[in-house]
Amino acid sequence: MRFSVRKLVIVLFLVLCSVLATPAAASDTYDVVLSDTGPTFYATKGVGVWPFIHTFKMQGEVISYSTSWYYGSGYSQISFPFLGLYSLDYAYVRLTNSAGFYRSWTYHQASFTCNFYYPYLSDADGGPSSRLTMKWHYEFVGDLGSY
């Protein structure tokens, strides 16, 4: 049996189309986590593959016995080729320090800002070391072909 180049191209095209049409097994959830130590916090993370890159950002600062702040920037939906579309379930923020202090906040929007009182010397002023962690938790919605 002899294959021509044309038949081979057609077979490869059909195989490629069937692979691309079938989404890969997707996880039910997807988490994006950013974390940094104080007294100033800054982190970014890109998830996905081009052209579906989603960049998450966090920044903030603990200020001695004063109003401290943080900011988080994410997405209400993220999409991944062959995996599908995910929708934000919640965003969770936790501030801890080595003295055992912690505070946590939960949001139902992808981007948020908060001002809060920090009852310690900041890390830079000799206070306990602090860590800010942000997590965006996503639930699987469906494959990209249906949206």
Q: Which residue in 30, 24, 142, 41 sits closest to 75, CA to CA?
A: 30
Higher pLDDT, 2 or 76: 76
pLDDT exceeds 50 at position 23: no
Is the pLDDT at 44 greater than 80? The verdict is yes
Q: What is the pLDDT of residue 52?
A: 79
**pLDDT given for residue 26 in this prediction:** 55
pTM of the model: 0.79
Rg (CA), the chain: 22
Place of tokens 């900041």: 122
Q: What residues form DSSP beta bridges with 32?
A: 136
Question: Which token pair is 125?
Answer: 């002023």
pLDDT (average), residues 88-102: 97
The domain segmentation of the chain, as residue ranges, is 24-138
Tokens read off for 119: 């009852």
Residue 74 has pLDDT above 70, yes or no: yes
